Amino acid sequence: MELPKVRKFAAIMEARTDEEIGGKIRNVHVAEIHEEPMPEMGPKDVMLKMETCQICTTDYQHWLGLREHQGFPMAGGHEWSAIVIAKGSEVHSLNIGDRVGPVHGGCGECINCRRGHSFACTAKSAKRGPVNGFLGARGFANYGVQPETALVKLANDLDPQVAGFIEPIATCVCGMRRLRVQPGETVVIIGAGTMGIANAQVAHAFGARVIISELTPKKLERARSMGFAEVIDATKVDPVEEVMRLTDGYGADAVIAAVGLGVAYKQGYSMLKRVEGRFLLFAAGYPKPEWEIDPNEIHYRRIEIIGTMSGDVADFADAAFMISHRIVDPSYSLESLGKMIPLKDIQKAYIAAATPDAYRVTVDLQNV
Ligand SMILES: [Zn+2]
Ligand SMILES: [Zn+2]
Reply yes or no on whether the pLDDT at 218 is more than 60: yes
pLDDT value of residue 219: 97
Type of residue numbered 114 = R
Question: Which ligand minimizes its atom distance to the CA of 79?
Answer: 1
Q: What is the mean pLDDT of the chain?
A: 93
Cα(107) to ligand 2 centroid in Å equals 4
Sequence-ordered alpha helix ranges (H) in the chain: 57-63, 111-114, 122-126, 160-163, 166-179, 194-205, 217-225, 239-246, 262-270, 295-300, 313-324, 346-353
Cα(314) to ligand 2 centroid in Å equals 14
* Per-residue pLDDT reduced to its tens digit, 68-114: 788 899 999 999 999 999 999 999 999 999 999 999 888 889 999 99
Distance CA 34, CA 365 (A): 13
Question: Which ligand minimizes its atom distance to the CA of 77?
Answer: 1
Q: How many CB atoms lie within 10 A of CB 312?
A: 24
Share of the chain above pLDDT 70, in %: 95
* Per-residue pLDDT reduced to its tens digit, 22-52: 555 455 678 999 999 999 999 999 999 999 9
Cα(58) to ligand 1 centroid in Å equals 6
Cα(349) to ligand 2 centroid in Å equals 34
Contact 359, 337 (CB under 8 A): no
Cα(325) to ligand 1 centroid in Å equals 22
Reply yes or no on whether the pLDDT at 240 is more than 70: yes
Neighbours of ion ligand 2 (CB under 5 A): 106-107, 110, 113, 121, 123
Mean pLDDT of 280-304: 95
Contact 84, 94 (CB under 8 A): yes
Cα(55) to ligand 1 centroid in Å equals 7
Reply yes or no on whether the pLDDT at 125 is more than 70: no
Question: Which ligand minimizes its atom distance to the CA of 111?
Answer: 2
If pLDDT is split at 50, 70 and 90, which confidence band does 66 have?
confident
Distance CA 1, CA 97 (A): 12
Cα(360) to ligand 2 centroid in Å equals 30
pLDDT value of residue 20: 52
Q: What is the pTM of this model?
A: 0.93
* Per-residue pLDDT reduced to its tens digit, 126-140: 557 899 999 999 999
Mean pLDDT of 158-166: 96
Distance CA 66, CA 90 (A): 42
Question: Which ligand minimizes its atom distance to the CA of 59?
Answer: 1
Question: Which ligand minimizes its atom distance to the CA of 124?
Answer: 2
Reply yes or no on whether the pLDDT at 13 is more than 80: yes
Cα(250) to ligand 1 centroid in Å equals 34
| Domains of the chain, CATH where assigned | 6-165+334-364 (3.90.180.10), 172-307 (3.40.50.720)
Cα(360) to ligand 1 centroid in Å equals 10
Cα(111) to ligand 2 centroid in Å equals 7
